[in-house]
Chain A
Amino acid sequence: KAGVTQTPRYLIKTRGQQVTLSCSPISGHRSVSWYQQTPGQGLQFLFEYFSETQRNKGNFPGRFSGRQFSNSRSEMNVSTLELGDSALYLCASSLAGVSLGNTIYFGEGSWLTVV
């Protein structure tokens, strides 16, 4: 069974640009969530999508957005990149949600560097 797949794995962007990251969840999983990991703040929840709708959102500015497609694949977008957006972005999937007792499985992440 294929795991959570994220692309691209590594990317370098310039301040002010925008970036789109992609995530394919485990087959059959309908919940996709995104996390940002930085040395200073650790792992922080960005948002979650379920059945193509944003179900929950963390405390991040509106420059961070996402969407989910009918096949459960998800993308997240960061506009007007800032140096502080440099981080590892992790996508995770679960059947329906961790609060229901499902396990969340993570992908390998996308390493974003903003210069």
Chain B
Amino acid sequence: AQKVTQAQTEISVVEKEDVTLDCVYETRDTTYYLFWYKQPPSGELVFLIRRNSFDEQNEISGRYSWNFQKSTSSFNFTITASQVVDSAVYFCALSETSTYTGANSKLTFGKGITLSVRP
């Protein structure tokens, strides 16, 4: 069965600190997609990044960077020089293929990490 583990539940940092959010996943699929979403208090899940299982190239986008390692089934997310506006709940999610025949839009989510950035 698919599983996404976000072992950290709450992280509190002071503005300008770097912070890494961990994500470990389990899947039997050979092709899969990993996602990170940000959820501010308003409720909307804001898409941050998608990664393919066959592309382990790490990515940097502004203050955000992602480290994908298939060998350890991890897809970690780092915020450099954190800001108060980064305060939110962050979810890691995994696509699912083997349970269904044909295409689907099911994501398995981790429990989320609440990030608080203090001024």
B31-85 at interface with A (beta carbon < 8 Å):
33, 35, 37, 42-47, 50, 52
Chain A-chain B contacts (Cβ-Cβ < 8 Å), number? 80
The answer to whether A31 and B105 touch across the interface, beta carbons within 8 angstroms, is yes
Name the one of B45, B107, B112 contacting A98, with C-beta atoms under 8 angstroms: B107
Residue from A42, A45, A104, A106 having most chain B Cβ neighbours under 10 A = A104
Number of residues on chain B facing chain A (CB within 8 A):
28
- A56 touching B106 by the CB < 8 A rule? yes
- Which chain A residues border B108 with CB–CB below 8 Å? 45
Chain B residues positioned under 8 Å from A23 (CB to CB): none
| A108 surroundings in chain B (CB, below 8 A) | 42-44
Select the stretch in A13-21, A62-70, A89-97 that faces chain B.
A89-97
Among candidates A42, A90, A98, residue contacting B105 with C-beta atoms closer than 8 Å: A98
B37 touches A106 (CB 8 A): yes
Q: Is the interface of A mostly helix, strand, loop or mixed?
A: strand
Counting contact residues on chain A (CB < 8 A from B), the size range is: 20 to 34
CB of A88 closer than 8 Å to a CB of B: yes
Chain B residues with Cβ below 8 Å from A50 are 103, 105
Whether A98 and B109, one on each chain, are in contact in the complex, defined by CB atoms closer than 8 angstroms, is: no
Which A residues are CB-close (under 8 A) to B43? 88, 90, 108-109, 111
Write out, one digit per residue, whether chain A residues 81-115 have a CB within 8 A of any chain B CB (1) or not (0): 00000001010101011111111111111010000
Residues facing A in B84-119 (CB within 8 A) are 91, 93, 95-97, 100, 102-112
**Which of chain B's residues has its CB closest to A96's CB?**
B103
Can you list 14 A-B pairs with a CB-CB distance of less than 8 A?
Answer: A31-B105, A33-B106, A42-B110, A43-B112, A48-B104, A48-B105, A98-B95, A98-B105, A99-B95, A102-B105, A104-B107, A105-B47, A106-B37, A106-B44
Given A42-B112, A98-B107, 18 more contacts at CB 8 Å? Answer: A33-B106, A43-B109, A55-B103, A56-B100, A56-B104, A97-B104, A97-B105, A98-B95, A98-B104, A98-B105, A99-B33, A101-B52, A104-B105, A104-B107, A105-B47, A106-B37, A106-B45, A111-B43
